[in-house]
């Protein structure tokens, strides 16, 4: 089995009520938990990423400090290391997660490939060591970190699917554009019911 699941940034600051909360974020957290309950044995690797920013500076310009955030390259403070906002949403059961990736530690970072695990290993090295060839992607936000992670997975030679029922975006227009871009890059746009079909 050579398929992995990427769970992107299902953190308190990215769901409803968080510093950068998106509509539907909590539902995504609960939906991913149901997916893992039903299909964990179909994945040889489950990796989850989190933004893990410094609270002491602007993280390489990622946090808007001297001007209003543009919500493209600069953002309000969010997911500061060791704060409740950076923790996984409580509706996401992480007991089935094999690898936890922290990204953005002092610098802007969107893709799971830009972070490291607790041992300091990058995602690309973990995938190579496990012989992963296929990746399913879920999480937050469709138009930013999900997009970047999926595009990087393609760049690393992976066959990639995104489950549209288990993602949530900042805005409808930019999320639709992201999915169109991903489809053009070769990502399969599906929903998680394909797993039930594959298991039958």
More confident residue, 59 or 152: 152
Range with lowest mean pLDDT among 4-8, 62-66, 129-133, 165-169: 62-66
Write down the pLDDT at residue 53.
77
CB-side neighbour CA atoms (13 Å) of 153? 32
Question: Which residues form the catalytic set?
Answer: 9, 103, 145
| Closest to 101 measured CA to CA, from 118, 85, 84, 89 | 118
> Which pLDDT belongs to residue 76?
66
d(CA 187, CA 165): 15
Q: How far is 37 from 31, CA to CA, in rounded Å?
A: 10
Please report where in the chains the tokens 């990204």 appear, as a residue.
103
pLDDT tens readout for residues 68-102? 766 767 666 778 888 999 999 999 999 999 999 99
Give bridge partners of residue 181 from the DSSP assignment. Answer: none
- Looking at the domain 3-199, which fold is it? Rossmann fold (3.40.50)
Out of 18-22, 124-128, 167-171, pick the least confident. 18-22
What does the pLDDT read at residue 59?
A: 63
CA-nearest of 43, 46, 47 to 2 is 43
**Structure token digits, residue 14:** 């990215």
Tell me the per-residue pLDDT of 118-160, one tens digit each, with 9 for 90 and over: 999 999 999 999 999 999 999 999 999 999 999 999 999 999 9
pLDDT at 138: 98
Structure tokens at 19: 């510093």
For tokens 């996401």, name the residue: 92
CA–CA distance, 142 with 149 (Å, rounded to integer): 10
CB atoms within 10 A of CB 8: 32
Distance of CA 159 to the CA centre of its chain: 17
For residue 110, name the pLDDT band (cuts at 50, 70, 90).
confident
CB 140 within 8 Å of CB 88: no
Decide if pLDDT at 57 tops 70. no
| Per-residue pLDDT at 200 | 34
The pLDDT score that the predictor gives to residue 104 is 81
Confidence of residue 2 (pLDDT cuts 50, 70, 90): very high
Give pTM, 2 decimals. 0.91
> Quick one: pLDDT at residue 187?
98
- 89's CB contacts (< 8 A; 6+ apart) are 10, 11, 12, 15, 25, 26, 29
Distance CA 75, CA 63 (A): 5
- Residue 199 scores a pLDDT above 50: no
Provide the residue ranges of all domains of the chain, joining segments of one domain with +. 3-199
**Rounded Cα distance, 137 and 113, in Å:** 13
């Amino acid at each position: 089995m050579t398929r992995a699941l990427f769970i992107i940034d299902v953190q308190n600051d990215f769901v409803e009520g968080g510093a950068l909360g998106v509509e539907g974020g909590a539902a995504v957290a609960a939906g991913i938990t149901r997916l893992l309950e039903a299909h964990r044995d179909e994945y040889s690797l489950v990796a989850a990423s989190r933004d893990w920013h410094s609270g002491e500076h602007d993280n390489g310009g990622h946090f808007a400090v001297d001007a209003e955030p543009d919500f493209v390259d600069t953002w309000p403070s969010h997911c500061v290391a060791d704060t409740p906002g950076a923790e996984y949403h409580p509706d996401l059961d992480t007991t089935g997660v094999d690898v936890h990736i922290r990204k953005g530690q002092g610098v802007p970072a969107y893709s799971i490939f830009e972070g490291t695990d607790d041992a300091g290993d990058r995602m690309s090295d973990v995938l190579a060591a496990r012989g992963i060839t296929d990746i399913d992607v879920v999480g937050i936000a469709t138009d930013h970190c999900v997009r970047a992670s999926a595009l990087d997975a393609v760049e690393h030679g992976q066959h990639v699917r995104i489950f549209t029922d288990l993602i949530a975006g900042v805005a409808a227009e930019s999320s639709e554009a992201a999915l169109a871009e991903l489809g053009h890059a070769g990502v399969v746009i599906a929903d998680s019911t394909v797993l039930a079909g594959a298991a039958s």
